[in-house]
Amino acid sequence: MTFFLIVGIACVVMANIFMGGLKSGEQQQTAFHTEKHEQQSVKLKPALYFGLTGLVSLGISALIYFL
């Protein structure tokens, strides 16, 4: 259970880092308007994979905890 919990939290944090979710509002707005569509899509794929992996790991951890 602890393994899935740690992996889930780490993957969610990595997804935030790839998407730029840990920036202030002004920094996010500046990055969004200055990046091209190709640059945004390159960051989207790993963020999506890390986010889904994190949610699945947290779900497995919750199932193990409650069962």
Q: Is the pLDDT of residue 57 over 90?
A: yes
Range of the domain at 27: 1-66
**Helices marked H in 20-36 — which ranges?**
25-34
- Are 27 and 66 within 8 A, CB to CB? no
Please tell me the least confidently modeled range out of 4-8, 17-21, 28-32. Answer: 28-32
- State how many domains the chain has: 1
Query: Which pLDDT score is estimated for 9?
Result: 95
Q: Could you tell me the sign of the dihedral formed by the alpha carbons of 57, 60, 64, 66, in that order?
A: positive
